[in-house]
Amino acid sequence: MVQKRRFSVDLDHIQQEGSENPSTPSILTPSKAKYFRRQFSEQNFDEEIIINRIDDEEKEQIKKPLLLLINGIEKLPYKIADINLAELGRKALSMAEAEMPGVMRLRKIYASKKPLKGVRLAGCLHVTAQTGVMIETFRALGAEVQWSSCNPLSTQDHIAAALVKAGIPIYAWKGETEEEKLWCIDQTIYFADGQPLNAILDDGCNLVRVIHEKYLHLTSVIHGSSEETTAGITKLRKLFKANKLKIPIINVNECVTKSKFDNNYGCGESLIDGIKRATDVMIGGKVVVIVGYGHVGKGCAKSLSGHGARVIITEIDPICALQAAMDGYQVMTMAEACKIGQIFVSATGSTGLIRGEHIMEMRDMAILCNIGSGQTEIDVVWLKANAIKIENIKPQVDIYHLSNGRAIILPADGRVVNLSCAHGNPSFVMSNSFSNQILAQIELFTKKGQYAIGIHTLPKILDEEVAMAHLDYLGVKLDKLTPTQSAYVDLEPCGPFKPDYYRY
């Protein structure tokens, strides 16, 4: 029998962040632990047997760790699919490290300085090999880290196992339900010593939303959060506009070395990987409809065209529509495109893009894919409610049979196809994104109080440093400004080389 120790949160004990006074009290006050002995009838049990049994129970209690309860939630050391996958995961992490020069360079530069010592970082982002390299870099830089996934289908179970084996609390497994996903996020709010998080790394505003809805009292000890995605920034801007945002945010998604690389080149490659693994379909010759011609849409269109697809773009933005037309793509409305497309890719981070009226007009066995954040771009709710039969083909691939006699193929239940049906963006391009995430967390922690509540971007000079960190790996060499050139264009020889408003 394991004895549980209960804790109650005492908000009056929350101290100012940055205090290293060992006398600072914990915000958790243990209540008295009581040990109980069973009552046995003397008629049925010998006294010596009773005493030995009680002694054995108490010895067993000493061997097992006491459980932690916070806000009625049992805090587990970790929860993953299978710890026995750790060796396989470690090999995958080693391969990813070799392809992530920017992140590994930051680890080498900052590991001895420990700029994140004192950070209790809770992350909510896909648990992949690339994320694992970033997580271990945060720990090398001095941070305590624990993690959940922003997507129930994207976790790579062998990576989760390797990280747990290395002593990092991970709460994620492939195939979580929505309820389990929220439970996993709750597990990352408090650390094993009972102290709460003081920093957040988020994808899709998942963790920040939970903090603002359930743990608002903790915002006073959180020095900031960094956000990875377009959809997440959209939600955060709405929160800020409503005067409900309580912490500073660094918008990593708008870093040039994120949006122009991860979103564009990364999604372009991983989309094809996801579609192929899910459906084995031939891309060449197919009519592919891409919803949205932002950074992700541009990368996907280029990649699909390279595979021989005939690409159609749908847009609401006249500038993006003009770009698509100038790039040689046909641009039309979804009402027109739904009748001729064979593969559909939503790529906006918005909602209600492919609706019931479009689905009913589609060709038989059309493939509906989403590579935007979340599950709302394709109306999956309508599809489930109106299908006369749902046929599971294999994990993360279903065929929905409709009343008109046609069928629709839906990979990943309408979630991001590249991470749910494949392994997400390649390590090299994620090194760009995650280098920005590391720099963002260093900025927020080392400059506490300097970032006001709101949404900020990293300085341009840091963006250029991230790009520079990846050039040697590709064998790229740069020219340098001469003194005459530097004076002529009014730029420092070491940069930044473009103004903040430059769009690349």
Judge whether residue 252 has pLDDT over 50.
Answer: yes
291 is in an annotated binding site: no
Range of the domain at 29: 4-75
418 is in an annotated binding site: yes
Residue 487 has pLDDT above 50, yes or no: yes
According to DSSP, residue 196 is labeled: B
230 and 290 inside one domain: no
The verdict on 414 and 329 lying in the same domain is yes
468 pLDDT higher than 50: yes
Stretch 434-440: mean pLDDT, rounded?
Answer: 97
Mean pLDDT calculated for residue range 269-276: 97
Number of structural domains, the chain?
A: 4
Q: Which of 75, 94, 126 lies at the terminal end of a domain, its last residue? A: 75
CATH value at residue 435 = 3.40.50.1480
Question: 443 and 312 in one domain?
Answer: no
- Residues 252 and 128 both lie in one domain: yes
- The pLDDT score that the predictor gives to residue 302 is 97
| 237 and 105 within one domain | yes
Residues 102 and 147 in one domain: yes
How high is the pLDDT of residue 414? 95
Q: Are 197 and 189 in contact (CB under 8 A)?
A: yes
Confidence label for 373 from pLDDT (cuts 50, 70 and 90): confident
pLDDT classification of 69: cutoffs 50, 70, 90: confident
Structure tokens at 61: 């209690």
Q: For 299-310, write each residue's pLDDT tens digit.
A: 999 999 999 999
- Strand-pair partners of 227: 202, 251
Say yes or no to pLDDT of 368 above 70.
Answer: yes
**Per-residue pLDDT for 367 more than 50?**
yes
Beta strands at 199-202 and 170-171: parallel, antiparallel or unpaired:
unpaired
pLDDT of res. 375: 83
Q: Please confirm whether the linkage preceding 426 is cis (ω < 30° from 0).
A: no
Pick from 57, 75, 93: which residue ends a domain? 75
Same domain, 298 and 218: no
CA gyration radius for the chain? 26
Q: Say if residue 247 is in the same domain as residue 170.
A: yes
pLDDT in tens, 300-341: 999 999 999 999 999 999 999 999 999 999 999 999 999 999
Q: Is 2 annotated as a binding residue?
A: no
Q: Is residue 242 included in any domain, yes or no?
A: yes
336 is in an annotated binding site: no
**Does 128 belong to an annotated binding site?**
yes
246 within some domain = yes
- The 10s digit of each residue's pLDDT in 171-180 is 999 999 999 9
pLDDT of residue 56: 54
Q: For the segment 77-131, what is each residue's pLDDT rounded down to a tens digit?
A: 999 999 999 999 999 999 999 999 999 999 999 999 999 999 999 999 999 999 9
DSSP per residue, 126-139: --SHHHHHHHHHHH
| 298 in a labelled binding site | yes
pLDDT tens sequence across 128-163? 999 999 999 999 999 999 999 999 999 999 999 999
Note whether 327 and 400 are same-domain residues: yes
**CATH at 291:** 3.40.50.720
Q: Are residues 309 and 452 in the same domain?
A: no
Looking at the fold, whether 238 and 108 belong to one and the same domain comes out as: yes
Other beta carbons within 10 Å of 132: 26
pLDDT attached to residue 73: 75
Residue 425 lies in a domain: no
Percent of the chain with pLDDT over 70: 86
In a domain, 99, yes or no: yes
CB 431 within 8 A of CB 102: yes
Q: Is residue 405 situated within a structural domain?
A: yes
**DSSP reduced 3-state for 14:** coil
* 48 assigned binding-site residue: no
- If asked whether residues 254 and 117 sit together in one domain, one would say yes
Residue 104 falls inside a structural domain? yes
Return the pLDDT at 327.
97
For residue 257, give the H/E element and its range. helix 256-259
Residue 9 marked as a ligand binder: no
Q: Is 228 one of the annotated binding-site residues? A: yes
